[in-house]
Amino acid sequence: MASAAQSGTSTPFSSTTTLSAPPTPKLKAVANDLQRIAESGAITASTLVEYIASRTASSSTVFVYDLAEQAGLGSLTKSWAEAGSGTAPVVSLQTRAGAGLSLAGRLSQGSSKDAAKGAILTAYTTPSGLAAMVQSFAYLPPATQNSRLVIQVPTVTPVGERFALSPTLASLTPSLPLLPEGFAVLLSATPQETVDLATLSYRLTNNHVIHLFDHYSSARETGHVATPPVVLPEPGLTLEDGLKKAGYSAFEYAGDQNAQTVVVLANGPLALTAKALASHVPGLGVVIVRVLRPWNEEALRSVIPASVKKVHVFDDVPTETTQGALYLDVFATLLNPLERGPTVKAHRIVPARTQEFLNDVATFLTFVADLLPSSSPVPSLAVPNLKKLLFFSTPQSTLSALPKMVETVFLPHKSLVSRLLTDYDVFSRPGGVAADRIVLSSRQSEAPFIPLSAILPISPRSEGVADFVAVLDPALLKSHAVLDHAAPGSPVLVITDAKAAELVASLPVEAASFVRERNLHLCTLDAKNIATELCKGNAHVQKVLENVLVLLAFLRLYLGQSATEDLVAKVARADLGDTIQGVALTELVSKSWNGLVEIELTAPGATPDAEGVASTPLKRFEFNAIAVETSEGDTVVNGARLGSWHDAAKHILFPSAFTPPGVSHTSPEEQNPALRPELQERTFLITCTVNRRLTPLEYDRNVFHLEFDTRGTGLKYEIGEALGVHGWNDADEVLDFCAWYGVDPDRLITLPVPGSDGERMHTRTVFQALQQQVDLFGKPTKTFYTELAEHAANVADRYALRFIGSAEGSATFKKLSEKDTVTFADILKRYSSARPGIEVLCELIGDIKPRHYSIASSQAVVGDRVDLLVVSVEWVTPSGKFQCQFGTVEFVLTVPPQALLATASARATSPA
């Protein structure tokens, strides 16, 4: 492979072909090297599906529905279409009831120019989106060679209260019986199968085709050699013949040929896991359904052994009272009134149950094994000599591309299989968390394909299965239970510039106990400081060297006791070359080798503050977002983002889809959905009627009396309660900040709703967000300094921010906070090279908190009124700046009575 200093041809599939600083090389629509890139295993099956579907030879138009793009399918197609390189025109559509009517109209004879000249339409949507379209398909004309519909469906659906992504087909099950004749419904699970059936969907000319593929896991894996086929329609090709040519059948049987118990599942990750189990358990057979429509009864009966007595059908259903379509098809096929056949039993698998099986594979295996007439021990599905690697990072991290570099080291070795899968959790932490799973194994053609989610699950109840864990952002040790996944005795690599004593002192009690209980080898590397010494001020070179240094540290730990500097250099040289950005590889190996430090944790109670300190429970990683690289090289994930006026238009045009559950507009005394609807506490709009100073003007303290009119609002309070005023930032100050920061205040931004942990989002202008939600002029926390440092381009700014956020910088932090009383905006202006995107900055700062003031009146006496007694606090900072603090009701001092409306709430609390 070329050295890091060289660059190769950039194609839609070149995300891991060259070594560079993150983000990875830009994706462009250049197909010349498609064969070479695909055969290297550097692209995913989902990317190939998009490529096959978007070619002008396959489709005349591609319709990208919003749900598909949110699931990670369609962004590349749009990027390639903009580049204009043999890509079909792209139309963006929204998902709602009757969404398929536009497709039917485009294919209808006599009413569409597309039908007259011939059109093969492709649509991208999800199972839930497909369910909304099914009824419209009744209006589709029959498929012909020049006029038909192909729908590519990534099987990813948000489920549960936390919107975890799942491969369940539950949302589609009730609509499946409504699908008209003339449709072929194909299901694929492995990467090669996904590519093959995507190709077949365009070769068939007598059917409209729906292709559902496993975008939850296997289709997003890299490391698989997939040969890009040439797509040519074959007139008259039947579905059965097309499957046979591709090497598949409508139903696949695996397991004991004399089995008495058979499990029937739709093709997907659980089906592949059950197939692997069947190869180890005598008496068990598994039937994988690859074609749901048209249903072939004869083909199913031919694959089920005559010895079978019980057939268990696993059906994805939305509720336990819903009868699944798969069970009805299997039951009707095996029902024979003339002779006694096998008993068919339905198992209704709701989405929550699917998630349980995915998160804990042992539970699923036990569930299947318990279906056998006699008890049988559950075997391990582990492949011999399997290595499981797990990397935790943040999407914006300098080291976010490291897992791809690790995979690239192993891809050229033909005796090894290297599989990489990246998942994101954008709800549990601002900016998100990335989890990269890499599984290394010897190449065995006969070994069954097992999804990575089953081999290396990232589950809340993990008992530790990873042979190596890397934490590329040390802040994750304090927020997430990342060490839970490390196997006993395995190495854990933490990339941090903190000293050993600092890291140990900052470890949460839960994390420290895991290190001791599992005897983990906790190692650290200060890659940033080493790279800074070598890069000579070049930021790009520094990023590259950081990744290389961590890669070399990984190789040392991976090689174990046999590792030497020469051996690490030999393994790395094949991929990196002899020099990287002008620095000799041997020098980098030496620096990485000497910089790697193993930390010994003291026994519990050996240090006074190490044990027994109450700490916040660590969060669990949950897969709820998929990242996609655009043609500009950007990585797109769910979370805070900038947008256009279209985002706001969606809220106005489709209020039912964006109004929070439970919000109503029935009574003026009920919660007004337009009045801070994102807040959990009840809010009221009250009017300031009196604003009177009580102390003389010459008196050094300003004590003033406020009265608020609450008539018609429904605000009730008791003696001893406090009034919470939800204040806004000053409009002029916000506009001045926007002008200085270089951001358009009228641009739309989508942010997580305060207090929702990112589960709910709302859209407003940048000005509205900075004025009404983001605490721009509040007091910065130590965490803010540390996180802002990662965005500082200037080295001096970066180290200064890190110092203030560290334990040694406590005195400086205290001075800034208590004497200088700096705000978030002040810090940004003081360290001006730290300029994260405005959407990232909003999440770093956090939200304005209501200011609570003790109520100085009794509602039983004053009626619909609230009285407050407020004292202003004035001082001069050491820099000579005059400060005056009134809390969030500062604005009432300059606004005449009767002219001020304030958002308020009441609760029992101590005064501000």
Asked whether 153 and 171 are in contact (CB, 8 A), the reply is no
Query: Over the stretch 777-823, which tens digit does the pLDDT of each residue have?
Result: 888 988 889 889 888 888 888 889 988 988 788 888 888 887 777 89
Mean predicted confidence (pLDDT) in 154-166: 89
Q: Which of 349-363, 689-703, 802-816 has the highest mean pLDDT?
A: 349-363
User: Does residue 15 register a pLDDT over 70?
Assistant: no
Is it true that the peptide bond before 294 is cis, omega within 30 degrees of 0? yes
- Provide the pLDDT for residue 379: 81
- Provide the pLDDT for residue 617: 85
Confidence of residue 643 (pLDDT cuts 50, 70, 90): low
The token pair that represents 127 in the structure block: 């199972």
Mean predicted confidence (pLDDT) in 350-368: 92
- Provide the pLDDT for residue 903: 67
Mean predicted confidence (pLDDT) in 835-857: 84
Confidence of residue 615 (pLDDT cuts 50, 70, 90): low
- Provide the pLDDT for residue 636: 55
Q: Tell me the percentage of the chain whose pLDDT exceeds 90.
A: 40
- Provide the pLDDT for residue 760: 64
- Provide the pLDDT for residue 892: 45
User: Does residue 272 register a pLDDT over 50?
Assistant: yes
User: Does residue 45 register a pLDDT over 80?
Assistant: yes
Mean predicted confidence (pLDDT) in 754-761: 59
Of 568, 571, 226, residue with least CA distance to 410: 571
Q: Which helix (H) or strand (E) holds 688?
A: strand 684-693
HSE (side-chain half, CA atoms, 13 Å) at 514: 21
Confidence of residue 294 (pLDDT cuts 50, 70, 90): very high
User: Does residue 215 register a pLDDT over 80?
Assistant: yes
Q: Which amino acid is at 427?
A: F
User: Does residue 432 register a pLDDT over 90?
Assistant: no
Mean predicted confidence (pLDDT) in 200-226: 91
- Provide the pLDDT for residue 848: 82
Confidence of residue 505 (pLDDT cuts 50, 70, 90): confident
- Provide the pLDDT for residue 894: 45
Confidence of residue 26 (pLDDT cuts 50, 70, 90): very low
Query: Over the stretch 108-145, which tens digit does the pLDDT of each residue have?
Result: 755 555 555 568 999 999 999 999 999 999 999 999 88
Confidence of residue 369 (pLDDT cuts 50, 70, 90): very high
User: Does residue 607 register a pLDDT over 70?
Assistant: no
- Provide the pLDDT for residue 876: 58
Of 906, 904, 867, residue with least CA distance to 716: 906
- Provide the pLDDT for residue 882: 44
- Provide the pLDDT for residue 390: 97
C-alpha of 658 from chain center = 21
The token pair that represents 54 in the structure block: 């978007």
Residues 6+ apart with CB under 8 A from 622: 162, 164, 425, 427, 428
Mean pLDDT (the chain) is: 82
Query: Over the stretch 508-519, which tens digit does the pLDDT of each residue have?
Result: 888 888 899 999
Mean predicted confidence (pLDDT) in 568-589: 92
Asked whether 691 and 706 are in contact (CB, 8 A), the reply is yes
Q: Which helix (H) or strand (E) holds 826?
A: helix 824-830
- Provide the pLDDT for residue 257: 94
- Provide the pLDDT for residue 18: 27
* Whole-structure pTM value: 0.72
